[in-house]
Structure 1
Amino acid sequence: MPRPEIVDLFAGPGGLDVAARALGYEVTGIEYDQDACETRTKAGLSTLQGDVRDFGPHKFPSATVLAGGPPCQTFTVAGHGAGRRALDEVIEFVQRMAGGEDVRSKLSELDDERTGLVLEPLRWALEALRDGHPYEAIVLEQVPAVLPVWQEYATALKAHGYSVAEPEVLNTEQFGVPQTRRRAILVARLGTEAKLPEPTYRVYRKGVPRGQGDPNQTEWVPMSKVLDRPTRFEVISNYGTGGDPKTRGRRTSDEPAFTVTGKVSRNRVVAMDGTELPRFSNKEAGLLQTFPADYPWSGRAIAQQIGNAIPPLLGEAVLRAALGTAEEYAAD
């Protein structure tokens, strides 16, 4: 029996694809960025380079799972916020799409065209339904600000017979990632109950020791466990707490990293006596994202590729809960 296939929209350098491959799935990622495509090629990931808006389900007739993480730049707190300001408009577009309207010509009303990309997975899902070959499962992720959009997606998909787990924001450190990062996750299934993963690691709280917390959960993972540095160190965040650059966050190597972004190299790294140390390399940033140590980062803007990716370890937890392994999924 052929392995189940996933089509991954906005696939980036391969965070979700690495996770899917570990579970035995065949994955084809659609990615526009040339640099991310170079990394994917070196990593042996099947890739169609192009704009997701130029394709649809008919291009991948054997894919039974739709996955994706639309660009987050307009929704993230670190960005300019056009997506967050347009949430009401985006939710209205979701409702109009669910009602059968083709809204693509209307998306020019948005201040930033990238905001409208968050609607592409729904377009693909609805087109597949109209074609009579609906996706058996849908798995989507984005920054927390997109949670209301995923909640509206859930309403639309339920109306078409999907079981949808209530979309939630998951903390990456609760799935073994040595980094605090929050992602809004949507999982939908046809013919079976949709599920999100249950956290297996303790949530990180500043000042709360690793040993405290739910005794049934594993202690969160510190940076020191994955980075090969000879001594303890402290990271001074590039971002100021509450937007104040004078109150930059600090974490020691005994804690998880701050969210890894494309600007990770701007975070200072100092010894415990304050001596400046080398800042995080691309390899170290990749390790904090749980990519393999030998992942073949290629092209330009590698830090941006790493920062944009979903941590493979989180991706694997989500896919395992949503689908099981490829062998288990095929047996359902």
Structure 2
Amino acid sequence: MIGIDLFAGGGGLTLGAKLSGIHVRAAVENHPSACLTYQTNHPDTVMLAFDIAKVETIDVGKRDQPLVLFGGPPCQGFSTSNQRTRHAENPKNWLFKEYLRMVRTLRPEWVVFENVAGILQTDGGMFAESFRQQLKDMGYKVAFEVLNAANFGCPQRRSRYIVVAALNAEPELPKASADAARPTLWDAIGDLPELSNGAMEDVLEYGNDAQSDYAKAMRCGLAKCSGHLVSRNADSIVARYPYIPQGGNWRDVPGMMRDPITDRRRYHSGIYRRLMKDAPSVVIGNFRKNMLIHPTQDRGLSVREAARLQSFPDHYQFCGSIGFQQQQVGNAVPPILAKAVFDNVMAIASQAGEN
């Protein structure tokens, strides 16, 4: 099977597709740092570094195998944490029309669409329902479900809305196995080095031996890896961290050390959240803005720690400023979840005699 990744970001979906044996021939992404990350890790895939509205069609060469078109428009407009712009007028919410335009243009045998689960609530689910109906109008059979990455081996409770559509087969979503590995946060990051607030040395050796089979798999036999960058938070903010236990948040900070009451509206349960060692992580998302705290160290997460919680292997390099790297990691679909979806697509396509 061959693939095309739309709204590719740093390449989480592409990595999952490749792990399933799909030859991803082209990708579309218009953010320069994300393009650089994608090209660094997927040099054999043609990168179209344009606004998708300016892409008329995509040449993947000879269509000698079934084509799967996959991706997801930017999810900020559908996110439950973005209530002010979570409505039809947000222009980002209409990028799914560009996705559908490429489906009409390329007529792939398979379509995989992903987004945040909040798309099901935005304007009463209008976008999700409209997207599925338009696929059906083009002759596709459609299946959809909200999948939790933690049920597929990811050390993070992260729900994604997944649509799988097929022209010549009955699509399905993968089912989590009852005995599937469910690594904890410490299984994922316990072997990474100790760091300080504002750490900026990118490449370091590991802190100790891998704490789990998951960590061992992420290390890929490396002796050192990149991504050990931590945002520099003000001393006044870091002084609050020791008061917050694992699983706690800003409410555990003594009143005299909190921000003025006028700023309290900005707070929610995820702000100043200290992560728990012995459970899957909460959603990483914008981990810098939320100031997610390391479970045992008084600092935010490093780029590599967040990447581990997203199931990116340690050889995967993120490019651009620390802010852009954090954005790429936080926005990504966990590759381990993507692989489960594409494995299922490949199995159904094989049964249907497509490959």
Q: Which interval holds the TM-score relative to the shorter structure?
A: 0.7 to 0.9
Cα shift readout 1:55-91 (whole Å, capped 9, x = no counterpart): 1445446562111111011111222542x321xxxxx
Q: Secondary structure at the match of 1:302?
A: helix
Find the counterpart in structure 1 of residue 198 from structure 2: none
Cα shift readout 1:176-211 (whole Å, capped 9, x = no counterpart): 1101111111000011111111122xxxxxxxxxxx
Unaligned stretches of 5+ residues in structure 2? 193-206, 212-244, 253-264
**Identity level (%):** 30
2:39 to 33, 38, 41: 41
CA RMSD of aligned residues (A): 3.0
Find the counterpart in structure 2 of residue 192 from structure 1: 169
2:149 to 147, 169, 172: 172
Find the counterpart in structure 2 of residue 221 from structure 1: 183
2:334 to 311, 324, 331: 311
Q: In structure 2, what residue type is equivalent to 1:163? A: K
Unaligned stretches of 5+ residues in structure 1? 87-109, 129-133, 201-215
Q: What does 1:203-242 correspond to in 2, within 5 Å?
A: 216-218=178-180, 220-227=182-189, 228=191, 234=246
In 1, distance between residues paired with 2:53 and 2:147?
Answer: 28
In 1, distance between residues paired with 2:2 and 2:10?
Answer: 18
Q: 1:190 to 1:238 in 2, by over 3 A?
A: farther
Shift of 1:170: 1.0
Q: 1:247 to 1:163 in 2, by over 3 A?
A: closer
Bigger mean CA offset, 53-62 vs 12-21? 53-62
Q: In structure 2, what residue type is equivalent to 1:74? A: G
Q: 1:294 to 1:154 in 2, by over 3 A?
A: same
In 2, distance between residues paired with 1:330 and 1:144?
Answer: 32
Q: In structure 2, what residue type is equivalent to 1:234? A: Q
Q: Secondary structure at the match of 1:153?
A: helix
Cα shift readout 1:255-297 (whole Å, capped 9, x = no counterpart): 11111123347212253xxxx4342110111110000112111
Find the counterpart in structure 1 of residue 87 from structure 2: 85
Cα shift readout 1:191-238 (whole Å, capped 9, x = no counterpart): 1111111122xxxxxxxxxxxxxxx33353211111125899836568
Structure 1 contact 323–329 (Cα < 8 Å) conserved: no
Structure 2 contact 117–146 (Cα < 8 Å) conserved: yes
In 1, distance between residues paired with 2:310 and 2:251?
Answer: 19
In 1, distance between residues paired with 2:149 and 2:23?
Answer: 24
Q: 1:268 to 1:331 in 2, by over 3 A?
A: same
In 1, distance between residues paired with 2:55 and 2:295?
Answer: 47
Q: Does 1:9 align with 2:6?
A: yes
Taking structure 1 as the reference length, what is the TM-score of the superposition?
Answer: 0.74
Structure 1 contact 261–303 (Cα < 8 Å) conserved: no
- The alignment of Structure 1 onto Structure 2 pairs a total of residues equal to 278
Shift of 1:136: 0.2
Q: What does 1:292-331 correspond to in 2, within 5 Å?
A: 292-300=313-321, 301-324=324-347, 331=354
Structure 1 contact 9–29 (Cα < 8 Å) conserved: yes
Q: What does 1:143-182 correspond to in 2, within 5 Å?
A: 143-147=116-120, 148=125, 149-165=127-143, 167-182=144-159
In 2, distance between residues paired with 1:121 and 1:246?
Answer: 33
Structure 1 contact 9–121 (Cα < 8 Å) conserved: yes
